[in-house]
Amino acid sequence: MKRLTAAILLGLSILAAPAYAANAPQMEIGKAEFYLKEFEKEVARAQGADMGRYYNKNEALSRIQNLAMAYPDDPKVKELIHRASMVLMKSKGDFMEITPEMTAYLRNEKEMQERYRKLSQAKWQELLAEKQPITKVFPTPEVEKSDPDDYFGKYVVLENVVYPNNQFYGATGEYMYVGKRSSGFYFVELSGRSWLGPYEAVKRFRRFVDPSLGDTLKFTVLGKITGVVMESPDANEKKLAPQEWGWVVEPEFLYSGERVVAYYDPNLENSGTFFGEEDVEKIKQGWYTVRSVPENVDPKTLMEIFATAIKEKNYELYKECINPVRYASDLGESLLRYHWDLHQARYHGEYVHAVFDEPKITVLKGHDDNNNLENFFLDSGQREQLIQRAGEKEEMAIVMSRAFEETGKQRGAKNFHELRRKGKGRWYVNTYDVRF
């Protein structure tokens, strides 16, 4: 009888065991929540970006998963699961819908680039038919065994020329060598305008038409043989390479990426242009959705106009948005163009759209009429005295931006942009070099 009673009691205790394990131990809940909070903080600091690696993510999720498997009915565990799912989604980055209007600039550019590609290919074929360059480029004619007069004035096509690779300063000038010792050399003359004019024209094409040409420009050079020199084709000042004969080539046409043909024209201000350059701005006029900056523009709207100017390749509008102090010198103008090129590259390789937060405005100089804390202690006479003493008011606005990829995913964390205004004047972008 005693044995039977003991067996019954043991069976009842086994059946009742789950009732005592319905809720997870508070210590385990606390540990899981600690790591979850740390994970939530990491995601919050990312500001909508997908940081990829989170130090507390796996620890938090694994602890909560174990609790969920052992105590599925515990309300506190369910709450942890809900929080974990929410923060896990946020850790993958914010998303937004990218509408066709946001990427219209890409379609417009593609149409223009295709137009110039066809134009340039046709012009290149015309040039080859007109100039009739020598057909046998390599090996070069041996200077010692040839009459140079037979080659002076003839045209030659040099392919896969990468600048500034192979550039060097010699005793007779600045050149870029094409070739090698076993097959002979051509020395493309770089010191004159015949190179610099077309080269700058290709960079303008990249700046205003097709940024996909990239930083390292590769050319096919069509030029005229003008002389023979003996040089050491070595960029090193000590000139360790031996002296070599080379045929000097004066470049007249540069063909880059099968998309643009630039040429030397001594009658032009820039001494170089590309075919169809005069039509670029006419084509883009039909794209522009914003053409000027209103005098009463607010900081957020100004940043939206600034981003639109970059997307639509409206350089003059881009410049109009920026604080004139930033480009008052020649160096400032150069930096303006440099960062324009960077913005163009980012809008074609990193993100396609940007959105902006409401600005936070601070008075840097002068009396702040909106500072209610100070105004509480000052009467109208005291405030007037401060205004007269402080001089012209200067304000700073900080606007945060977020950039989005074509898939709608946020690219990186937020970036802040500084704007300035003096007195009752207009707002200007001050940190124009910051990415979106």
Q: Which of 343, 355, 344, 346 is nearest to 410 (CA)?
A: 355
pLDDT tens by residue, the chain, 436 residues: 445 444 444 444 444 444 445 899 999 999 888 989 998 888 888 887 787 788 998 998 999 899 989 999 999 998 999 998 888 878 887 888 999 999 999 999 999 999 999 999 999 999 999 999 999 999 999 988 889 899 999 999 999 898 888 899 998 999 999 999 999 999 999 988 999 999 999 999 999 999 888 777 899 999 999 999 999 988 777 777 889 999 999 999 999 989 999 999 998 888 999 999 999 999 999 999 999 999 999 999 999 999 999 999 999 999 999 999 999 999 999 999 999 999 999 998 899 999 999 999 999 987 666 666 666 666 777 767 766 776 788 999 999 999 999 999 999 989 999 999 998 899 999 999 999 9
Contact 90, 39 (CB under 8 A): no
Question: Measured between alpha carbons, how far is 373 from 87 in angstroms, rounded to an integer?
Answer: 38
| DSSP single-letter state for residue 73 | T
Tokens matching residue 327:
């480009």
Query: What integer pLDDT is reported at residue 8 of this predicted model?
Result: 44
pTM of the model: 0.79
**Residue 415 vs residues 4, 23, 345, 375: alpha-carbon distances, Å:** 76, 45, 17, 33
Exposure string for 213-239, b = 16+ CB within 10 A, e = fewer: beeebebbbbbbbeebbebbbbeeeeb
Residue type, 350: E
Contact 87, 36 (CB under 8 A): yes
Question: Measured between alpha carbons, how far is 299 from 288 in angstroms, rounded to an integer?
Answer: 21
